[in-house]
Structure 1
Amino acid sequence: MYLLVRPPSVTISLALQEDLQLHCIVVGQPSPKRIWTKNGKAVTEESHIKINDEYSLFVSSVQRMDSGNYTCSAENMFGKDEITYSFLHHQWHYMFH
């Protein structure tokens, strides 16, 4: 079994040039495979976008081009779950599926 540990539903206000950290905390056996997507396409690490060993996504110095839907999907043989963070008008909102 596995579980995607979700944060409480909150809104985080961000101005341009601020740093952002999005979490994808998962527990389960076998260990679920995790992937980050933005607007349905795999997130690739760039100079200002990094994914750490715990699958937290870091966006340094947020720009308008960073807006969109960021989804962390977790999947193993028992199922799949995901959490989506939406960046709209300089605010991040959590949307649960």
Structure 2
Amino acid sequence: MTTPLERIESHPHESKRLIGIEYEHFLGLVELAEKRHLEKQAFIEKNKIRIVAKGGGRKPDMSVKQGICLCLIYLRQKPIFEILGLLFDVSKTKAMIHLIIG
């Protein structure tokens, strides 16, 4: 089963129907979110007292692009978290957390 993000990337003309925005706008949103995420991480790093070495710790389960796609599908379709988890191959708890913390 393909994920919604894979479907959107292979058929960009269907993005409006699936997530509610054009593919070009989606890519712009992803670019802005990645930029903002890097700025936020740099700010946190600047004020952080390190316990774990840089680059250590748990790696994210989803990319920024997948997280944005998950949020847009949730806002457009309003599926339950179990369905979101199945669509994006994460647990329902992870799907809920991605919506809360973005």
TM-score with structure 1 setting the length: 0.24
Structure with more of its chain in helix, by fraction: 2
Relative contact order higher in (CA < 8 Å, ≥ 6 apart): 1
Which structure: larger Rg? 2
Q: Which has the higher strand share?
A: 1
